[in-house]
Structure 1
Amino acid sequence: MAHPDKLAALGRMKAIATALAVVVGLLWVLARHQGWPWLAAFAEAALVGALADWFAVVALFRHPLGLPIPHTAILPRNKARIADNLAEFIRDRFLDTSALVARLRAVDPARHLAGWLAKPENAGLLAGRLVVVLAESVDFMEDPRVRRLFLHALRRRAGALDLSDSMGQVLDTLKDQGRHQALFDEGLRRLSHWLDEPSVRQGFAGMVVDVASREYPKVVAMLGLVGMNAEELGERVSTGLIGAVHGMLDDIARDPQHPRRQAVDELLARYIERLGQDEAFRSRVDQAKRDFLAQPGIEDYLRGLWNDLRDWLARDMGRPESRVRRKLAAAAAALGASLADNPALRESLNEHIERTVEALAPELRAGLAQHIAGTVRSWNDDDLVREIEVSLGRDLQFIRLNGTFVGGGIGLALHALTQLFP
Structure 2
Amino acid sequence: MNRTTQQDKLKKMKALATGLLIAVTGLLILAKSRHDLGAWAWVSAFAEAAMVGALADWFAVVALFRRPLGLPIPHTAILPRNKARVADALAEFVRDKFLGTDALLARLPAIDPAKRLAQWLAVPANARLMSDRVADMSGEMLRLVDDARVKAAVFQMLEQRVTKLDLSGVISRLLDILTEDKRHQLLLNEGIRRLSGWLDNAEVQKLFADRIVAVAGAEYPKMIGALGFIGINPEELGLKLAVALVKGFNRWLHDIGDDPEHERRRAFDDTVQSFIERLKTDTAFRERVEKAKTDLLSHPATRSYVGGLWDSLRARLESDLARPDSTLRAMMAEGFAAFGTRLAASPSFCESINAHFGTAIRSMAPTLRDTIARHIAETVREWDDEAIAREVESSVGSDLQFIRLNGTVVGGLVGLTIHAVLLVF
TM-score of the aligned structures, taking structure 1 as reference length: 0.85
Q: How is 1:98-137 mapped onto 2 (pairs within 5 angstroms)?
A: 98-137=102-141
> 2:305 maps to what in 1?
301
Shift of 1:344: 5.2
Is 1:38 equivalent to 2:42 in the alignment?
yes
Give the letter aligned to residue 13 of structure 1: L
- Determine which of 266, 271, 274 is the counterpart of 2:275: 271
> 2:58 maps to what in 1?
54
Alignment check: 8 A CA contact 1:127 1:329 kept? yes
Q: How is 1:16-95 mapped onto 2 (pairs within 5 angstroms)?
A: 16-27=19-30, 29-30=32-33, 32-34=35-37, 36-95=40-99
Q: Secondary structure of the equivalent of 1:389?
A: helix
Alignment check: 8 A CA contact 1:104 1:354 kept? yes
Measured in 2, the distance between the counterparts of 1:317 and 1:395 equals 50
> 2:193 maps to what in 1?
189
Measured in 2, the distance between the counterparts of 1:151 and 1:311 equals 18
Q: Which runs of 5+ in 2 are unaligned?
A: none
Measured in 2, the distance between the counterparts of 1:119 and 1:246 equals 59
Measured in 2, the distance between the counterparts of 1:255 and 1:334 equals 48
Shift of 1:299: 1.4
- Deviations along 1:36-65, one digit per CA (max 9) or x if unpaired, are 443333333323322222222222122223
- Deviations along 1:249-283, one digit per CA (max 9) or x if unpaired, are 44444455555444444433333333233322221
Measured in 2, the distance between the counterparts of 1:138 and 1:306 equals 10
CA 412–331 in structure 1, closer or farther in 2 if over 3 Å, else same: closer
- Determine which of 149, 155, 158 is the counterpart of 1:151: 155
Measured in 1, the distance between the counterparts of 2:398 and 2:34 equals 31
Deviates more, 1:62-71 or 1:27-36: 27-36
> 1:173 maps to what in 2?
177
CA 391–24 in structure 1, closer or farther in 2 if over 3 Å, else same: farther
Measured in 2, the distance between the counterparts of 1:304 and 1:9 equals 65
- Deviations along 1:217-275, one digit per CA (max 9) or x if unpaired, are 5477437978x744444443344344344444444444555554444444333333332
- Deviations along 1:92-123, one digit per CA (max 9) or x if unpaired, are 22222333344345434344444444554444
Q: Secondary structure of the equivalent of 2:72?
A: coil
Is 1:6 equivalent to 2:9 in the alignment?
yes
> 2:413 maps to what in 1?
409
Q: CA RMSD in A?
A: 3.2
Deviates more, 1:405-414 or 1:70-79: 405-414
CA 210–401 in structure 1, closer or farther in 2 if over 3 Å, else same: closer
Measured in 1, the distance between the counterparts of 2:133 and 2:417 equals 71
CA 146–199 in structure 1, closer or farther in 2 if over 3 Å, else same: farther
Is 1:222 equivalent to 2:210 in the alignment?
no
Q: Which runs of 5+ in 1 are unaligned?
A: none
Shift of 1:82: 1.0
Measured in 1, the distance between the counterparts of 2:247 and 2:350 equals 55
TM-score of the aligned structures, taking structure 2 as reference length: 0.85
> 1:355 maps to what in 2?
359
Q: How is 1:220-369 mapped onto 2 (pairs within 5 angstroms)?
A: 221-222=226-227, 229-256=233-260, 258-340=262-344, 345-369=349-373
Is 1:394 equivalent to 2:398 in the alignment?
yes
Give the letter aligned to residue 140 of structure 1: L
Alignment check: 8 A CA contact 1:84 1:373 kept? yes
Q: Secondary structure of the equivalent of 2:76?
A: coil
Alignment check: 8 A CA contact 1:32 1:40 kept? no
CA 370–321 in structure 1, closer or farther in 2 if over 3 Å, else same: same
Q: Number of residues paired by the alignment?
A: 420
Measured in 2, the distance between the counterparts of 1:106 and 1:230 equals 90
Measured in 2, the distance between the counterparts of 1:239 and 1:347 equals 67
Alignment check: 8 A CA contact 2:28 2:43 kept? no
- Determine which of 388, 409, 419 is the counterpart of 2:423: 419
Shift of 1:28: 5.2
Q: Secondary structure of the equivalent of 2:75?
A: coil
Measured in 2, the distance between the counterparts of 1:104 and 1:264 equals 60
Alignment check: 8 A CA contact 2:228 2:234 kept? yes
Measured in 2, the distance between the counterparts of 1:224 and 1:97 equals 100
Shift of 1:81: 1.0
Shift of 1:160: 1.6
Measured in 1, the distance between the counterparts of 2:118 and 2:128 equals 14
